[in-house]
Amino acid sequence: MYVNGARFFEVLDCGKAGMRRFKVLSFLPMMIKIKYLLFLQAIVVLLSCQNREKTKQSKPIVVMDTIQKMEKSEEEWRKILSPEQYYVLREKGTERPFTGKYNLHFEQGKYSCAACGFELFDAGHKFESHCGWPSFDNEIGEGRIVKKKDLSHGMVRTEILCSRCGGHLGHIFDDGPTATGQRYCVNSLSINFTPATDSTQKK
Ligand SMILES: [Zn+2]
């Protein structure tokens, strides 16, 4: 007779001690099953985590998603900006050439939007264009500047705006003398300069 494997005989042969052992032994398959189930569960969790990690990695980084838009009424902008800044940034005006404070400014540092403070240009990209306005051959990071077709004043140009607050910066032209071939022609009134500190200059 061989009921439930060899364990049946152990019970018959060994009395109370055998019964205790029988109880332990009969729990063993259940414990093994639980251990096995926990092990399987751990593998499933591990695999699902790995899949989630893969999904994260394959998702392209979209810069625009990280830019928090700043929206204000024209009344609010008038309070924040000087009349000259308001004319350029909000009414798309242009400062007179060779008059802006950053036209011939070549210190190391960063230029940010004068309306919202968003960093737009690095001094390393600034060059002397002799056009009368501060000129850069690139922006500080992708997605920081919005380009928009501008047909005003009987010309076909590309307007550049701060992507955070929509402030008018100037225009971009593809006649730049450097490797990028770009000339971001910016009003000094649209930007503010922050000099590089010792630690940022070393980078
Ligand atoms: Zn801005």
pLDDT of residue 198: 73
pLDDT of residue 155: 96
Measure 198 CA to ligand 1 centroid, in angstroms. 26
Mark the ranges of the chain whose per-residue pLDDT is less than 70.
1-66, 199-203
Would the pTM count as exceeding 0.85? no
Same domain, 130 and 40: no
pLDDT of residue 126: 98
> 11: helix, coil or strand?
helix
Instruction: Kindly report the CATH number assigned to the domain that includes residue 78.
Output: 2.170.150.20
Same domain, 90 and 56: no
Which of 31, 62, 93 is where one domain is finished? 62
Measure 176 CA to ligand 1 centroid, in angstroms. 24
Other CB atoms within a 10 A radius of the CB of residue 58 amount to 7
Measure 28 CA to ligand 1 centroid, in angstroms. 69
Is residue 110 domain-resident?
A: yes
Instruction: Convert the pLDDT of each residue in 119-134 to its tens digit.
Output: 999 999 999 999 999 9
For 111, 158, 162, the CA distances from 165, given in Å and listed in that order, are 15, 18, 6
The residues carrying an active-site annotation are 185
Measure 3 CA to ligand 1 centroid, in angstroms. 83
pLDDT of residue 33: 62
Which of 23, 39, 62 is where one domain is finished? 62
pLDDT of residue 138: 97
Is residue 68 domain-resident?
A: no
What is the domain extent for residue 183?
Answer: 74-202
Same domain, 85 and 52: no
DSSP label at residue 88: H
pLDDT of residue 11: 39
Same domain, 38 and 111: no
